[in-house]
Structure 1
Amino acid sequence: MVDSIPSTSGAAAAQFLQVSGPYHSNHADIPIDVSPTPSRRSMKVFENIRKKSLSEWSLVLDIIRGGSRDSVDEQFRHPERVSASTGNLNKKGKKKILRFGTMSPNYIHKQLHIVQEEKAMQLAPSGPIDASKFVAYVTERRKKRILFKGEYLMIMRSVDPLRCECNVASTMGDRNQYPDTLPYDYNRVILSIKGNDENSHYINANYVESWFKEKAYVVTQSVKSKAASHEFWRMIWELGSNTIVMLTKVFDFMRVMCLQYWPITRFQFGEIDVETIETKTYAHFVIRTFRLKHVHDTTGQNARLVRHFHFTEWELNSFPYISAFIELRRRVRQWIEENPTETPIVVHCSNGGPRSGAFLSLDANMELLKKTGQVDVYGYSKILVNARQHLIETVEQYHFIYDVLYEAVLCNIEPIGMFQLKDRSSMYKSKKDRELMEAQDSHENKLLIALTPSLRIGDCAGGHRLENRGKNRDVMVVPPDHARPYLQTLHGESKDYTYINAVEVDGFTRKAEFIVTEWPKQQTVDSFWTLIFDHSCHTVVNLTNQQNSKMYPKFIHDKGKQNYGPFVVEVLNYHQYPAMTSHMVKIMKRVGIPNKEQHYQLAPPLRF
């Protein structure tokens, strides 16, 4: 039992440091001098830790007496304090006295954190986790994030230094784009030797195994030179791979991350002829199909199709949209299932490091989940760190891998085919099927709510500024700054003319394909038309019909011209339909170029 701390006086501090009961210090014979009196800040730290748990408080007392656990003593003990090598004696052979007043709160917090990390490492999973328990497992670790740190530290300790050597790579100089990311000798990709270049066998790439295949992946670095592009395509040809996954932008934050090593139409890279036959662009990735042919193959009988999956929305020093990352992996697997092969998937980011490791962990664990109903992030991460440098790099990246698999396991929702949608809709007609579908819809809605991150006031700072508060219909419905469209045309008398209550929403094929906004207020009608003009909107869909009033002013007329701030809006034609009205209008900026837009409005009576 630990005595309480009634005050910060010297006598009270002496009583406060007395320990009785089951606790025993490794250095209990070290006298503790409580003069000078501990600072109020130190005492507050001690009191907070004591209230948290008696076990942690015992650790603090152990630190005060000269050290905590043996592993902590060896690594983090200050030289002026008691160490394992000198015992409890100073240079003159007298017992050391640890002055309580010299113990800083930062030092104690650091020592306590180290001990907590040691405890967390002991709680690392011993094997795969069933899918039914995985969500609860991740949820618990999110509450105690140091458990992620414990797993990460254990993974880093699992690297085999005798096996993971880079003797060959360290002699290759400029063939390595990043000198700190080198392939291990035992599993590096070895190419055929070309001509008199004795180093032509080398490329910065490693084989990486999955749970069910020894050479399931090849992880390599980005292409940053013409010579490297030739070596890259030679590797693809010699491996026979039909799948490339690229996880970096070509250009990001004023840096060239990777050269465009594929042609717009057709180009010859060394002895490999590459032709682009199809390009499909989506909101977060681009899928390209190449036809590869060796220049010595005049008949074209050995031509191959290679699918290139380029994830374009992973910015530097950030993490991507998880659902898009999962969708990219789903499309990769769909292609492989339709075009089965025993050759490895080639994966690269900029340095062939953490981004590639995240994709491999997602894919390998999803395959494990599919075949066994289990997930093993911890176990596969040990495989990754022993396969290539930096595949697991930071605690944040390791946490991101868990977040991705958490969403993948929790949702596990496959897309519905176009022809299946009709059958699904017809299930609402029968009472029995309708109840089942409504339960499914309710479940999906709960998942959406659970997976949607909460916004803080700081995330929506623009909408909460004093000059912008009157521009919002509801103070609780304010757009986050990272998603709102900024206005460019100067209008009105507001200090912040860039703000409007609106958000950009991605579509399936284009980023920021939609802009969602509220019915304009009396003072924001000009901003509404500024939004349409500045962001080149050609279609406006209005899904409500409000009577013209001060609360809901009319922002489009049936005929003629109307001035809105710096714009003149002219109605070219107007049509009344049974359930909607249509306006074709021309927007003219007094100093700009006319722009046309199509405007639709649902007209009453409309019943749901």
Structure 2
Amino acid sequence: MFLFPTEAYMEDHLEDKNRLQREWEALCAYQAEPSCSLVAQREENVPKNRCPAVLTYDHSRIRLSSGNSHSSSDYINASPIMDHDPRKPAYIATQGPLPATVADFWQMVWESGCVVIVMLTPLSENGVRQCYHYWPDEGSNLYHIYEVNLVSEHIWCEDFLVRSFYLKNLRTSETRTVSQFHFLSWHDQAVPASTRSLLDFRSDGAGRSGTYVLIDMVLNKMAKGAKEIDIAATLEHLRDQRPGMVQTKEQFEFALTAVAEEVNAILQAFPQ
């Protein structure tokens, strides 16, 4: 039997019950630098923000092509998340679209070359709208110059489903396929009931966004042979790029537990 460095990190958390609390307190005190959000707070951009507490940093935001925008603006509340390559984002973290920002959302999908959308929020929760219904239930919808056709919808289990879209830019007549993986059982400010359901969801394709990206980034580093993993440092790296990534200690603990479960599954696969 042997220990991965990552497993040793997890075992240390299990042996030291106060380590998670200390790490979370340090994360709460962490301040990204720079952290200006002046563009997001401009008068014309304020209505485009779902939550005033989660704004894009000026130095780290997705910029739309204003010439293709329905509002001639380059602003969208979305942040590129870099991993190892500072020139190319590994993820884009964004809010659930508002009625007035759906066309901006599809423009971002098109201009960023996204082929996978990971949706972690229900459309509404406890009577509160969490996200505008930004895709057609059947046929096609037109959002400015972007036509979105629903090709298929498959319910994989009670926790998530997969939709396939045919996205067309009417200005250029170019088309591409986009897949949406929609996780259904993650409530706001909480964690999923099962780490396995989220790990299964991840392996099949793809706040909540911060927790998902944290888990996915750490497991991708492990898959690429990283010798050591520091989950708290990885979260600081995420918060340098977008505020509010992982909002509660319970979500941070969930990320640790999910990674530990995946490490254990990898070890179980080795001959004893």
* Aligned match of 2:59: 186
- Contact 2:32/2:239 (8 A) holds in 1: no
Equivalent residue in structure 2 for 1:257, among 127, 130, 135: 130
Q: Give runs of aligned pairs for residues 30-179 of structure 1, distance below 5 A.
A: 130-141=5-16, 144=17, 146-161=18-33, 163-171=34-42, 172-179=45-52
Q: CA deviation at 1:285?
A: 0.5
Q: CA deviation at 1:325?
A: 0.5
Q: Which has the higher contact order (CA 8 A, sep 6+)?
A: 2
2: CA distance, partners of 1:179 / 1:245: 23
Equivalent residue in structure 2 for 1:356, among 187, 209, 231: 209
Kindly provide the amino acid, as one letter, of the partner of residue 329 in structure 1: R
Report the structure number with the largest CA radius of gyration: 1
Q: CA deviation at 1:392?
A: 2.7
* Aligned match of 1:577: none
Once the two structures are superposed, residues 260-307 of structure 1 have per-residue CA deviations (whole angstroms, 9 ceiling, x without a partner) of 111122111110011111111022101111111111234xxx211111
Q: CA deviation at 1:195?
A: 7.6
* Aligned match of 2:259: 405
- Contact 1:246/1:309 (8 A) holds in 2: yes
Query: How many aligned positions are there?
Result: 262
Matched, 1:291 2:166: yes
* Aligned match of 1:307: 179
Equivalent residue in structure 2 for 1:220, among 94, 111, 118: 94
Q: Give runs of aligned pairs for residues 185-204 of structure 1, distance below 5 A.
A: 185-194=58-67, 200-204=73-77
* Aligned match of 1:385: 239
Once the two structures are superposed, residues 414-465 of structure 1 have per-residue CA deviations (whole angstroms, 9 ceiling, x without a partner) of 9xxxxxxxxxxxxxxxxxxxxxx9x98xx9xxxxxxxxxxxxxxxxxxxxxx
1: CA distance, partners of 2:243 / 2:72: 21
SS in 2 for 1:182: coil
- Contact 1:211/1:364 (8 A) holds in 2: no
Kindly provide the amino acid, as one letter, of the partner of residue 79 in structure 2: N
SS in 2 for 1:202: coil
Gaps of 5+ in 2: none
Equivalent residue in structure 1 for 2:150, among 273, 276, 292: 276
Once the two structures are superposed, residues 212-246 of structure 1 have per-residue CA deviations (whole angstroms, 9 ceiling, x without a partner) of 56411111111121x21111111111111101110
Kindly provide the amino acid, as one letter, of the partner of residue 40 in structure 2: A
* Aligned match of 1:245: 118
* Aligned match of 2:221: 368
Percent identity, please: 25
Q: CA deviation at 1:196?
A: 9.5
- Contact 1:134/1:406 (8 A) holds in 2: no
- Contact 2:151/2:166 (8 A) holds in 1: yes
- Contact 1:184/1:387 (8 A) holds in 2: yes
SS in 2 for 1:375: coil
Q: Normalized against structure 2, the TM-score is what?
A: 0.88
2: CA distance, partners of 1:219 / 1:165: 18
Cα separation, partners in 2 of 1:184 and 1:276, compared to 1, 3 Å: same
Kindly provide the amino acid, as one letter, of the partner of residue 5 in structure 2: D
Gaps of 5+ in 1: 1-128, 334-353, 415-436, 444-608
2: CA distance, partners of 1:196 / 1:275: 20
2: CA distance, partners of 1:375 / 1:325: 20
